[in-house]
Structure 1
Amino acid sequence: MSKAELAKQIRTGQHIPDILDCLAQLSNDEVPTPPKLARAMLDILPGEVWGKDDYVWLDPVCKSGVFLREAAARLLEGLSDQIPDFDERREHIYKHMLWGTSITEMTGIISRRSLYYSRDASGEHSVFRFDHPDGNIPFVRAEHTFPKKKDGTVTGGCTACGAPLDLERGEGRENHAYSFIHGVYPTKEMQDMKFDVIVGNPPYQVDDGGHGTSATPIYQEFVSTAISLDPRYVVMITPSRWFAGGKGLDTFRDSMLSDSHLAELVDYPKLYDCFPGVKIRGGVSYFLWDREHSGPCRVQTMWDGVPVGPAVSRHLGGYGVLIRRNEAVPILDKVRSLGEATLSSKVSSRKPFGLPTNFHGSPTPEGKNSPIRLYGSQRRSWVSRSELVTNRAWSDDWKVLMTAVQGTSAAVETMFLSRPIVAGPDTACTETYLVAGRFATQGEAESLAAYLRTRFVRFLVSLRKPSQHATKDVYAFVPDVPLDRHWTDAALYERYGICPEEIAFIESQVNEMPAPEKEPLT
């Protein structure tokens, strides 16, 4: 097929099998964006951008080149009036309007092949022959910068991205130091260039030295850097975990929620909805940052690729986290209107007794001084009271224990909390659990357990729970109600004036958790 024939098919909308639909995940930070998703992201830009021949576009994190390729197709159509000659129009777009840098040497090759039809942008097969093989999509190598003592000892992770020292492995090996957030791209030669539209799908995290069990989010650095260049528009897709903050995301969350230039937010809560086969807990979302916009943000939830209800324009701040479902906002407002204290002040922090997850005692209390029944990971054992590192006095109380991690491998979470455990005196737990409340009587403990089982409570938890971690912060919307009764959903709906439509929404999001035949006491 000739290039002219290909361009004609693009203009007429004929189906073309897309090789980029077949690209697999290359690594944890190289998840190619499906073309359909890239097109949906470009759709939120104002239509006028496709008729602007003086706009300069940038993808600072090229993986497959799909954003620049899709932009080129639209610009070829949109600029037909300004530049009628097709070859002249194509040359102007490719040479002067579309720029990017790849995150690795390999993704640079793929991206140039996608945009220029050739890995060598200076070769005869390139849609436009540049003077350099990289064209406008180079791979620019960067180095991490590590804080050091006077003696040269490294004292922490990279100051730009938090990467550990062992990622700096010398020339010839990928070090995951991305040029856009390490100050080397745009290059010095490009320092006077003004970018109008920045689009992309940045790397999401970098291993922070936790030996495969820990990672530091870095996508926020790409978003912040893009906005700092003051373009007209920024469109990027990221994990939605920033909605609730945590692990280095609190400052970013606060800045985004207070940014009046955030014009649109499209949220995909369902696992695998955007990236089939790629597990991104908490879902993903993309946004439009518009330099000229000042006001509320238009929020749209997607489910199985289809909008859920109409988009709603609303201010995102005021709750400490982003409330991702439009339907949840009036419910939360009703609950908060009573001004009640919340359970987050009563739920313990991690390691309530100072014992790690992998700590286990003996199978029997024999030989233990003041034996304590220990709730641990998938087993119960016995320890001496003296083995409790902190809060030994808590072992005397009636307690309600909740697992600190509650998630599911399913695409949709519907429970949000584990089943409460009522533990009597002479009990403790490892950091597998949090202590949700301590009481003098069994009745109070059982009342809290009943309250935590309600759909109402678990719905409020869901508003602050972007991942499987159920720390004390997820209880910050849950009212600290009197425990003089066993609360039911019906009683809670009446207490807070929840209307039938709102009840239906809550119960569509949270599955029922029936009471056990008998509370699991020690």
Structure 2
Amino acid sequence: MNPPIVDGKATFALRGHNPDVLTCIANLSNDEVFTPPELANQMLDTLEVAWAEANDGALIWSDPTVTFLDPFTKSGVFLREITMRLTEGLKAHLPVLEERVDHILTKQVYGVGITRLTGLLARRSVYCSKDAMGAHSIASSFDRDWGNIWFERTEHTWAGDKCAYCGAGKSEYARSDDLETHAYAFIHTTDIKARLARMFGADMQFDVIIGNPPYQLSDGGGSGSSAMPIYHHFIEQAKRLEPRLLTMIIPSKWFSGGKGLDAFRETMLGDRRLRALVDYPDSREAFAGVDVAGGVCYFLWNRDDPGACHVETRVGGESIAAERVLNEFNVFIRDNRVLNLVKKVKGQNDPSLSTIVSARRPFGIDSASTGSESGDLYLYASGGDTRICREYVPRGVELIDKWKVLLSKTSSEHAGQTDKSGRKRVLSRIEIMPPASVATESYLIVGPFSSEIEASNAAAYLRTRFVRFLVSAILLTQNITRGSFAFVPAQDFSRAWTDEDLYAKYALTEDEITLIESQIKPLGLVDA
């Protein structure tokens, strides 16, 4: 293997390969998603613009004093791309290439590996050697083999059956020494400044923190939807370090809150230092081949320059951007066009339909309930409708003998997907429930209504594209809740409503109607 610096030129070997090995790694699907170099560079471009605006047009890559930290490095792509840019930008300040590269690697770029393997991989990406002091390392003055990319095994701190820092389940992560703990050092401390000082041997004040944190861990209750998000802990910890600029790419589920994210959402939406937000509703447009439910986004947080946020939605190769105040509503509406339409509808000051949508488990009946053939009540169940005795219904008694509408609380696989035209169904089973009927926890209840006619009109209303579009403005996953109907106005259900009626009532423009109908597929009376 050739030495990394030859004839006065640094050969960043991994970058020179075709295809780039870090692009290949980025295509691997994992909860700890690897970042493609192209996406990392988009984030760095956003960073560059923010720095120039705050520093009279100065180029961040030409400043030999700026320090960068990736506190959860995986492939090392951010540190590698930063090093490449600094190597070009610092030519005038440090004309000798070897001295310039050594200065960058020993004084400006730092990382914390999330596993032993990623620590080695990141060092190979940045130093061209897993040993920063090795013969092939492009750094020349390190006195430690890990350079400035630290990793040591960290243990969880168990408080009962969960970790006191990250909430990981003990049953899943109390592991032997030959397995990774996934106890990430950056968030397993109450004093992050002291932790970093111990890592790097000096008090560190980083100007820029950047990266792609781990997204979730099992909390002992399973995986997938029962897994627990942890990416917000990394953001909160990074803010405690008070960097000048902070940018990370994370799942977009926080827009609507949810499991452990409600307080984080409120803080993020109200933080005027959040100055840029780039959203990918389809994560595969950011991470090729990786489907993150609800999409992904990256943000730029600017400590010293609060103001409105530049919100950009990237979908289908197009970009839709606007300057916005993020906490206008309790949830974040990701599409600027949808925001304008929601504001027009809310301008009528109609009450929200959410006021007559039940909470989860409206009758307290488990989804696994099999009912009884001799029961006096009809039981709607996802595994097949049956009957149940009234005395076995622990709650919702005021709804039992009323007309109401049944609504699946999760979209079916068909409801969550698009048709060939890219349109979504959004809502799944919608059905009129007569008196003397109940449902398992698989369903929400809309109502009650005083007559069959009102219930029928309400069910028809839920089938309109107008309603399903407003639900989709909030819905980032397949889970439908009462809160999913926050933007849906209630109507007078003594009469029937069609999309045409609703378009006219809310004075929607042709462009707004086209937006709705391009995203939402029509449903007939028997389609739901």
Fold agreement, TM-score > 0.5: yes
Determine the C-alpha separation between the residues in 1 that align with 2:219 and 2:16.
46
Q: How far apart in 2 are the matches of 1:457 and 1:27?
A: 34
Match of 1:180 among 183, 186, 201: 186
Q: Give the match's secondary structure for 1:74.
A: helix
Q: Which runs of 5+ in 2 are unaligned?
A: 50-58
Distance in 2 between residues matched to 1:400 and 1:393, nearest whole Å: 14
Count the aligned residue pairs: 503
Amino acid at match of 2:35: T
Alpha-carbon contact 1:262-1:293 (below 8 Å) kept = no
Do residues 157 (structure 1) and 159 (structure 2) align?
no
Q: Which residue is 2:327 aligned to? A: 317
Residue deviations 1:306-362, cap 9 Å, x none?
Answer: 2333x2111111211111001112211111122221111211111111111121224
Distance apart, 1:279 and its partner CA: 2.6
Give the aligned partner of residue 53 of structure 2: none
2:275 counterpart of 1:274: no
For each residue in 1:157-177, what CA deviation from the matched residue of structure 2 results, as whole angstroms up to 9, or x when unmatched? 222211122313253432211
Secondary structure of 1:389's match? Answer: coil
Stretches of structure 1 that go unaligned for 5 or more consecutive residues are 148-153
What secondary structure sits across from 1:23 in the alignment? helix
Q: CA deviation at 1:68?
A: 0.3
Amino acid at match of 1:207: S
Paired position in structure 1 for 2:377: 372
Following superposition, the deviation at residue 199 of structure 1 comes to: 0.6
Q: Mapping of 1:419-458 within 5 angstroms? A: 419-458=429-468
- Choose which of 70, 74, 84 in structure 2 pairs with 1:59: 70
The one-letter code matched in structure 2 to 1:302 is R
Supply the AA of the counterpart residue of 2:369: F
Aligned to 2:303: 291
Instruction: State the TM-score, normalized to the length of structure 1.
Output: 0.91
Match of 2:409 among 375, 388, 404: 404
User: Residues 307, 225 of structure 1: CA spacing in aligned structure 2 closer, same or farther, 3 A cutoff?
Assistant: farther
State the distance in 2 between where 1:321 and 1:423 align: 31
Partners of 1:286 and 1:24 lie apart in 2 by: 16
SS in 1 for 2:196: coil
* 2: CA distance, partners of 1:25 / 1:500: 40
1:244 deviates by: 0.7
Deviations 1:458-509 (A, max 9, x none): 1111121111100111011111111121111111111112111111122222
Partner amino acid, structure 2, of 1:360: T
Specify the SS of the correspondent of 2:444: strand
Question: After superposition, where does 1:84-95 map in structure 2 within 5 Å?
Answer: 84-95=95-106
Matched, 1:168 2:174: yes
Retained in 1: the 8 A contact 2:71–2:111? yes
Partner of 1:483: 493
Measure how far apart 1:140 and its partner are. Answer: 2.9
CA distance in 1, matches of 2:92, 2:519: 49
The answer to whether the 8 A contact 1:407-1:467 is kept is: no
Q: Distance in 1 between matches of 2:303 and 2:151?
A: 28
Q: Which residue of 2 aligns with 1:46?
A: 48
State the match for 1:389 in structure 2.
394
1:459 is the counterpart of 2:464: no
- TM-superposition CA deviations, 1:432-479 (whole Å, max 9, x none): 111022223111111111111111111111121111100111011111
Q: The residue matched to 2:150 in structure 1 has which SS? A: coil
Q: Distance in 1 between matches of 2:94 and 2:386?
A: 77
Q: Residues 300 and 307 of structure 1 are in contact (CA less than 8 Å); yes or no, is this contact kept in structure 2?
A: no
SS in 2 for 1:247: coil
Alpha-carbon deviations, 1:101-145, whole Å to 9, x = none?
110001111111111111111211111142212111111332222
Higher deviation after alignment, 59-68 or 384-393: 384-393
Letter in 1 for 2:273: H
1:36 counterpart SS class: helix
The residue that corresponds to 1:193 in the other structure is 204
- The change in CA–CA distance for 1:85 and 1:57 in structure 2 (over 3 A counts) is same
Q: State the shift of 1:385 in Å.
A: 1.7
The 3-state SS of whatever aligns with 1:209 is: coil
SS in 1 for 2:323: strand
CA distance in 2, matches of 1:378, 1:326: 39
1-side partners of 2:30 and 2:18: how far apart?
29
- Residue 335 of structure 1 corresponds to which residue in structure 2? 345
Aligned twin of 1:242 = 254
Between the aligned partners of 1:8 and 1:205, the Cα distance in structure 2 is: 37
Q: Using the alignment, how far apart are the partners of 1:255 and 1:146 within structure 2?
A: 27
Q: Structure 1 residue 144 and structure 2 residue 160: aligned?
A: no
CA-based RMSD of the aligned residues comes to 2.3
Task: State the AA in 2 paired with 1:176.
Answer: H
Cα separation, 1, equivalents of 2:495 and 2:125 = 64
Deviations 1:182-205 (A, max 9, x none): 126414355621100111000111
Q: Which of residues 342, 345, 351 is equivalent to 2:355?
A: 345
Structure 2 Cα separation of the partners of residues 64 and 212 of structure 1: 24
